[in-house]
Amino acid sequence: MNNSLRTFMLLAALTAVFLIAGYVIGGATGMLIALVLAGGMNLFSYWNADKIVLRLYGAVEVDESHPEPLIRTYVGDVLEMAQSAGLPRPKIYIIEGEQPNAFATGRNPENAAVAATVGLLRMLDRREIRGVMAHELAHVRNRDTLTMTVTATIAGAVSALANIGLFFGGDRDRPAGLIGTIALAILAPIAAALVQMAISRGREYEADKGGAEISGDPDALASALAKIDGWAHREPNVTAERNPATAQMFIINPLSGHGADNLFSTHPDTRNRIEALRRLAGLGGTAPAPLVEARRATAVPTTRDRRKTGPWA
């Protein structure tokens, strides 16, 4: 309930940023135009976002008749968990790529799709794969796919509107004048991005909890996250690097880099997620040695690893 309320409040704040941007650029008329524009973009995203992202990543639909046993098992486990969670049958996809990762998309549970990379299916054991895909099914059950699509659309619209204002607004007849318009062009996209990231982090924690309930095995998801986290920064995801707005969809941030639970992170820090899952499993809040070692074994060596110094220390 707290996470849902927080998401609603953040969405309201994001919409307010968009409307304020419209008002600064064109007064009451500009705000009305911004509202209509946001509605049109959200409507387009509602119907087409899933198709666009699946095509972008070259996802291939699979079912129980696939010739490879590993993929047949993956499909069967997803369908079994979806049924036990009371969800309609989702479409199931695989994505060529060595980076272990997964995401869910679709405008509602009746039109949902889940996708996993080939790297994820090869790297994790069956129990861990079930934990990851249960997390994605929790996103479907919580309708996070729609929430994140709407936030990404509005955040993108704020940036577009700010650019329009910078080039076409700012005369003395505008509510904020030239200085206000320039400030808007700089600050509005930053504010929108921060709100979008905050929403994304909240939904990830909620999906971790929901996934643990669906699979009945919180420690399996914790173990999977520990493994994926290291390899996600070792194996680049070229498509995600070219389209960073899609990074929020994945279970682990697919972009190269390091992060913590801060304003500029699309995902919670993996260690925080593992500790929360272990508390759900009744195992305490500290990651055990096997999980820590798994992360160390797969992490890219950095200056911090060698000398405990550098920008990430």
Angle, alpha carbons 116-45-208 (nearest 5°): 40
Tokens of 131: 């934990």
Give the phi and the psi of residue 133 in degrees, each rounded to 5.
-70, -25
CA distance 82 to 311: 43
Residue carrying the six token digits 């095509």:
55
Q: In the chain, what's the furthest Cα-to-Cα distance?
A: 68
CA distance 88 to 108: 10
Tokens of 231: 């390899």
CA distances from 208 to 107, 138, 141, 191, 295 (A): 20, 8, 12, 26, 19
Please state, as a whole number, how many other Cβ atoms lie within 10 Å of the Cβ of residue 5: 9
Is 128 an annotated catalytic residue? no
The answer to whether the Cα torsion of 246, 248, 251, 252 is positive or negative is positive
Residue carrying the six token digits 């994605």:
136
CA distance 130 to 93: 15
Selecting among 61, 98, 136, 213, the annotated active-site residue is: 136
Which residues have CB under 8 Å from 248's CB, separation 6+?
A: 148, 152, 196, 197, 200, 266, 267
Which residues are catalytic, by number? 136
